[in-house]
Amino acid sequence: MEILVCAKRVPDTSENEITLNRAGSDIEREELVYSVNEADNYAVEEALQIVAKVGGNVSVVTVGDEEDEEILRREMAMGASHGILLSDPEFQMSDGRGIATILKAFVTQGKYDLILTGVQAEDGAAQIGGMLAAMLDYPFASLVNSIEVLDTNKLKIGREIEGGNREISEIDLPCVLSIQTGINEPRYVGMRGIRAVASVPIPTLGASDLGVDPNTVGEAGARVKRVDYFVPALGKGAEMLAGSREENIDRVLEFIAAKGGLK
Amino acid sequence: MVSLVSSWLKPGRHLFILVHLIGVTSFAYIAWRRLVPLVRAQADPRFDRPLERLGNVAKFWFGQWKHPRYRGAGILHILIFAGFILLVIRSFSTLLVGAFYSLSAPPGEFARVYNTITDYAATVVFTCMLVAIVRRLVFRPARYAVPTRYGKAHTADAIFLLALIAVLMAAEGLFSAAAAAGQFKVGEAGEQLAFLSLPWLLQIPLASASLATIGKFCFGAYLVHETTFYLLLCYRPFGIQFHVETSLFNVYFAKLNRGTVKPVRWDVPDSALDQVKTFGVKTFEDFTWKHMLDFYSCADCGRCSDSCPANAVGRPLSPRFLSIKARDYAFQHYPVLGRSTNHQALVGSVYSDDEIWSCTTCGACEEECPLLIENIDKIVDLRRGMIDDGNVPQSLQKPLKALESRGNPYGKMEKKRADWATNKEFQRVCPVKTLAKNTANTLYFVDSMTSYDDRMQSIARSTARILANIGDDFGILGGAERDSGHEVRRFGEETLFTALRDHNTDAIKASGVKKIVTADPHAFNALRHDYKDVPPVEHISQVIARTSAAGLIRFNAVERPDQIYTYHDPCYLGRHNDVYDDPRNVLDAIPGLKRVEMQRSRDRSFCCGGGGLMLFYEPKEEQRMGVTRVEMAAEAGADVIVTACPFCMVNLEDAIKVAGLEGKMTAIDLAELVDRQMVRHDSTSTATSYVGG
């Protein structure tokens, strides 16, 4: 099975102190460290596990610039056989639809049986998977937390439903799935693995290579524009329980029950 | 003249020679087969420093140094070992009598004395075997038990081997007794049996028998002795007594540099590691030959697991079975008869993931092992293999990634590393220089835990005040410091460790300092053993002990003389670096401070639960190690646990809460305690409000 995973490089929320820039238009990016978007990493792991069972190849693609190569290398160190960077000055400031347009152009150049995205980017809007599927006229399922290959044309997938329920569906290939974190346990990739793929060439494709009309992507094509970005003021602090241990335990149980955590 | 014994044995001569040939050939073949995996193993250069190694042999092998740590079993073993050593010549000469008559000639003066000694030695060994069998069957020390997850009990095997030795001793005794009884009857000069020894006792009933009967006994005893000897020789390489043959070599080739971790590959320099296809131990053949020899040598005595804190709190790790399971694997896959099958993954079959991650590398098992078997290097090598395969618990992946991008496991910003010192109020009372911009004589290497953890920053401030108080010209690396990488290395992430080490080494060299001080034993051990070409490093407890002995630090009396203190030895200060007395001397120098020792102290110290990345690992356990430890402190009657490590501190403080001892017991770092008690020379005296927070 030929699987394509769409991945994104994001500021790692656990390793950064996100602050706004002076203009208030974006976050301060000076001292940020980046990593591959967590859900995308789960998607790559899932793709690798599928390929380990049924054979095939895993390719990872990202839209960005030279710096984004770092996440392609990390995913290649995990076991992906190809990394492709889609990069062009025209792509900058694309909205979700623009990114989906670029990815669609890339997908139609190749032959992929399955396309995976993360459920959402940590700095994103959970929109690419659905748009990409619609543009490709492929079936789509979101929030996928299990995949089983039934045959060369069909998958059995599980989806997480609000409230902890699960839904099992069959879906025809080729399709697009957005992958929920927790679907698997991604393998560890260290510096050594990345060094081993450091010299593997990563093809870079621009607008003309992909046959993308510059007017449909980038700032020119964007129909959603960010107008503000801020950190909301902190709400009221936590409530401190001051009582005996038994009283506090009872209070905590009440709270959890009141919020629907206990049945 | 053919002696009496020779005439008795003569009819069996061909049989005896045949048994000799079969015995020697079988043993040679078995030994060769046992060597096969060692030949296929990884390189391990252990042929250096012969004098030091011979010293180890004299102390640990011949001197049985570790044995008395377990009094009963230890004494028993020393008696058996001494008996064996004494009996070697006698046993061989007896063996040869059946084949070569001349050896049965009347003994000389030296031989008479030797015979008397060995009569008793054989008696002692025989008695010890009976005692050991009774111990195994009736008293059943708990540490010999085999939990079901590790396989079947080894009692039958142990008793069979003990019984064989008893038979060997009895047969030898009967042979001597028969010879003496016969010689006495015909008036031939013979051996004078030692009073009340085993041969002496056996001779009594024989004395009334006819010469022919005695002859038959002599013949039978010889045959039983000879066959038992070879049976033992050839059976030992199949079980727990193989150490009789291997222990001498195992001790000679034992690891000499404590506190260190073996390189990924002994035969590949660090610079060429990128070319190595796989890291660590994945299959049995990835172990070094010495580690395989360890597996063969394990005597299954259970001391390692008895002292292992992971085993004590119910984690799925028992160091004894690291060896036993690997040996079983070796015996199964490298059989004496049949083809060798090899190259199967160990983790997932022989060992479980959790088993390998459960080790805190505290070193208690290695400290206890009479045969100097190594476990930490094997654990680290197995982890290297798992890291290489990407098989790392999710809870450890985040801190490892953060160490890669931010140089600390918490993912905090590099520039905030010195926040504990740059706080304005603290700077006013105790200015701390940041090196590179400034120069200093001493570098205070803080490391991640003490730099970033709100609670542990108090240790950093106390350390800074102590250094200021003794007039040391010191500074910190601040944002240029990275995690020492001590646990990164011990968790098997060698490449990341190398990057951290190289970064720190460059920063330390650029700072131009003459020496390094740290309050974190893990950083101390890393800088001392894992780093190369950095200035000499001291732990703050050594600095305090040295300067207070020289009168540079004086102490005020403790405010509450009713409190009882105890000192908890951090593994990487104590066991791995032998710093036991300095912290105790400091405590004893504080007027009015009463101190007790926990039962498990000094080199027997019980790990708090582990440092560095171990704080992120979620082990399967019945109780936290720290809780067991504070219970030990309570048992010793202590109200205050003093330690000298930020990781011990975090584990013990948590454990005091979990154990429900809050309000009854407190934990304090040695540096904090000294900071609290020391007579201040300068402006740092106004800083008391910072103590403890």
- What is d(CA A40, CA B673) in angstroms, rounded to the nearest whole number? 49
Hey, are the CB atoms on B413 and A188 less than 8 Å from each other?
no
- Contact, A80 vs A104, CB < 8 A? no
Q: Which of chain A's residues have a Cβ under 8 Å away from the Cβ of B398?
A: 14
The count of other CB atoms within 10 Å of the CB of residue B420 is 24
What pTM did the predictor assign? 0.93
CB B390 to CB A31 under 8 A? no
Span B415-438, pLDDT tens digits = 999 999 988 889 999 999 999 888
Considering the domain architecture, whether residues B414 and B375 belong to the same structural domain is answered as no
Which residues neighbour B540 within 8 Å (Cβ) at sequence distance 6 or greater?
A: B463, B466, B517, B518, B519, B644, B670, B671
Domain that holds residue B466: 394-549
Mean pLDDT value of segment A198-210: 95
Task: Give the angle subtended at the CA of B256 by the CAs of B244 and B47, to the nearest 5°.
Answer: 75
User: Residue A153, SS3?
Assistant: coil
For residue A232, what are the contacts with CB-CB under 8 A and spacing of at least 6? none
In this structure, are B239 and B294 located in the same domain?
A: no
Q: Which amino acid is at B257?
A: N
| Closest to B595 measured CA to CA, from B642, B550, B536 | B642
Other Cβ atoms less than 10 A from the Cβ of B423: the count is 14
Q: How far apart are CA B525 and CA B503, in angstroms?
A: 17
Q: What is the mean pLDDT of residues A90-97?
A: 94
Q: Would you say residue A115 lies in a domain?
A: yes
Are the C-beta atoms of residues B609 and B625 closer than 8 Å to each other?
Answer: yes
The whole-number average pLDDT for the span A190-196 is: 91
Q: Could you tell me the CATH number of the domain that includes residue B460?
A: 3.40.50
Nearest CA in chain B to A38: B398
Q: Which of A48, A192, A197 to mutate to test the interface with B (most CBs of B within 10 A)?
A: A192
In a domain, A233, yes or no: no
Closest among B318, B296, B301, B156 to B239, alpha carbons compared: B296
Gap from A76 CA to chain B (nearest CA, Å): 13
Looking at the domain assignment, is residue B261 inside a domain? no
∠ at Cα B247 (B243, B253), nearest 5°? 140
Do residues B627 and B526 share a domain?
A: no
Which one of B274, B387, B405 has the shortest CB-CB distance to A33?
B405
Q: What is the CATH number of the domain that holds B179?
A: 1.20.950
Q: How many distinct structural domains can be found in chain B?
A: 4
Fill in the DSSP letter of residue B274.
Answer: G
Count CB atoms within 10 A of the CB of residue B448.
29
Decide if pLDDT at B450 tops 70: yes
**B58 shares a domain with B202:** yes
Closest CA to A93 of A223, A212, A205: A223
Distance between CA atoms of residues B465 and B88, nearest Å:
63
Instruction: Name the percent of chain B lying above pLDDT 70.
Output: 97
Query: Domain residues for A154?
Result: 2-221
Q: Are B380 and B512 in a shared domain?
A: no
The CA-atom distances, in angstroms, between B259 and each of A240, B304, B488, B504, B582 are: 45, 18, 15, 19, 18
**Would you place residue B690 in the very low, low, confident or very high pLDDT band (cuts 50, 70, 90)?**
very low
Which of the listed residues B491, B524, B549 is the one where a domain comes to its end?
A: B549
pLDDT for A125-174, tens place per residue? 999 999 999 999 999 999 999 999 999 999 999 998 888 889 999 999 99
Residues B577 and B595 in one domain: yes
Could you give the 3-state DSSP secondary structure of residue A158? Answer: strand
Rg (CA), chain B: 31
pLDDT in tens, B303-333: 999 999 999 999 999 999 999 999 999 999 9
CA–CA dist B401, B474 (Å, integer): 32
Of B105-119, B266-280, B624-638, which one has max mean pLDDT?
B624-638
Band (A29; pLDDT cuts 50, 70, 90): confident
Cβ–Cβ below 8 Å for B387 and A189:
no
- Is residue A133 a part of any domain in this protein? yes
Q: What is the mean pLDDT of residues A68-87?
A: 96
CA B231 to each of CA A29, B167, B295: distance values in angstroms, whole numbers, following the listed order: 75, 11, 22
Examine the domain organization and report whether B62 and B151 are in the same domain: yes
Instruction: Dihedral sign for Cα B273, B275, B279, B283, please.
Output: negative
Q: Is the dihedral of CA B225, B231, B236, B239 positive or negative?
A: negative
CA B463/CA B449 separation, integer angstroms = 14
Q: Is A54 helix (H, G, I), strand (E, B) or coil?
A: helix
State the smallest CA–CA distance between residue A187 and chain B in angstroms.
Answer: 5
DSSP string, B365-416: HHHH-TT----HHHHHHHHHHHHHTT---HHHHHHHHHHHHHSSTT---GGG
The ipTM assigned to this model is 0.87
Q: Which of B526, B549, B572 delimits the end of a domain?
A: B549
pLDDT at A128: 96
Question: For residue range B163-214, what is the model confidence (pLDDT) as tens digits?
Answer: 999 999 999 999 999 988 988 888 877 678 888 999 999 999 998 899 999 9
Question: Does B527 lie in the same domain as B422?
Answer: yes
Which among B399, B564, B660, B180 is positioned nearest to A14, based on CA atoms?
A: B399
Residue A12: give its domain's CATH number: 3.40.50.620
Residues ≥6 apart with Cβ < 8 Å to B599 = B632, B635, B636
Q: Predicted confidence band at B109 (pLDDT cuts at 50, 70, 90)?
A: confident
Asked if the structure places residue A32 within a domain, the reply is: yes
- CA distance linking residue A262 with residue B460, whole number of Å: 44
- Structural domain total, chain A: 1
pLDDT at A111 over 80: yes
Dig out the tokens for B592 from the structure: 């009015």
Residues of chain B with C-beta less than 8 angstroms from the C-beta of A35: 401, 405
Longest Cα–Cα distance in chain B: 103
User: B51 with B138, same domain?
Assistant: yes
Res. B692 pLDDT band, cuts 50 70 90: very low
C-beta of residue B388 within 8 angstroms of C-beta of residue B279: yes
CB atoms B274 and A193 under 8 Å: no
Give bridge partners of residue A169 from the DSSP assignment. A157
Given a cut of 60, is residue B105 above it in pLDDT? no
Mean residue pLDDT across chain B:
92
Q: Distance (Å, rounded) from C-alpha A218 to C-alpha A88?
A: 9
Question: Over 60: is that where the pLDDT of B2 sits?
Answer: no
Tens-place pLDDT, residues A232-243 = 777 777 778 888
Mean pLDDT of B64-89: 95
Q: Are residues B602 and B544 in the same domain?
A: no
* Mean pLDDT confidence for B343-372: 95
pLDDT of residue B651: 97
Query: In this predicted structure, which of A129-143, B65-79, B81-95 has the lowest mean pLDDT?
Result: B81-95
Q: Which of B265, B396, B406 to mutate to test the interface with A (most CBs of A within 10 A)?
A: B406
Give whole-number Cα distances, B354 to B310, B317, B321, B326, B383, in Å: 11, 8, 14, 17, 11
Domain assignment of residue B558, yes or no? no
Q: What is the mean pLDDT of chain A?
A: 92
Per-residue pLDDT band for B691 (boundaries 50, 70, 90) equals very low
Single residue among B353, B373, B388 that ends a domain in this structure = B388
Residue B517's identity, in one-letter code, is V
Q: Is residue A198 part of a domain?
A: yes
Contacts (Cβ under 8 Å, ≥6 apart) of B646: B447, B449, B450, B453, B456, B459, B519, B520, B611, B669
Contacting residues of B for A78, CB less than 8 Å apart: 390
DSSP state of B197: S
- CA A186, CA B308: separation in Å to the nearest integer? 31
CATH number of the domain at B314, please: 1.10.1060
Q: Between β-strands A140-151 and A175-179, what pairing exists: parallel, antiparallel or unpaired? A: parallel
Q: In what order do the strands lie in the sheet with A2-6?
A: A165-172, A154-161, A140-151, A175-179, A114-118, A2-6, A57-63, A82-86, A204-205
Query: Could you tell me which residues of chain B have a Cβ less than 8 Å from any Cβ in chain A?
Result: 274, 279, 387-392, 394, 396-398, 400-402, 404-406, 411-415, 493-496, 499
Residues B608 and B572 in one domain: yes
**pLDDT tens digit string along B646-662?**
999 999 999 999 999 99
Residues of B in contact with A189 (CB under 8 A): 390
Residues in Cβ contact with B120 at an 8 Å cutoff, skipping those fewer than 6 apart: B194, B197
Which residues in chain B are contacts of A193 at CB distance < 8 A? 390
CB contact under 8 A, A14 and B402: yes
* Cβ neighbour number for residue B283 with a 10 Å cutoff: 16
Question: CA A155 to CA A151: how far, in whole Å?
Answer: 7
- What does the pLDDT look like over B493-523, one tens digit per residue? 999 999 999 999 999 999 999 999 999 999 9
Sorting pLDDT into bands at 50, 70 and 90, what band is B604?
Answer: very high
pLDDT number for residue A209 = 96
Residue A249 maps to a domain: no
Residue A191 lies in a domain: yes
Q: Are B584 and B546 in contact (CB under 8 A)?
A: no
Nearest to B661 by CA among B621, B626, B622: B626
* Helices B394-406, B494-511: inter-axial angle, 10-degree rounding: 30
A238: which strand partners? none
Q: For the range A70-74, what are the long-range contacts, defined as Cβ-Cβ under 8 Å and sequence gap of 24 or more?
A: A70/A9, A70/A34, A71/A7, A71/A8, A71/A9, A71/A34, A71/A35, A71/A36, A72/A7, A72/A202, A73/A194, A73/A197, A73/A198, A73/A200, A73/A202, A74/A35, A74/A36, A74/A189, A74/A194
B100, B24: one domain: yes
Contact (CB<8Å) A192/B495: yes
In a domain, A127, yes or no: yes
Dihedral angle over CA of B83, B89, B95, B100, nearest 10? -160
Mean pLDDT of A7-31: 81
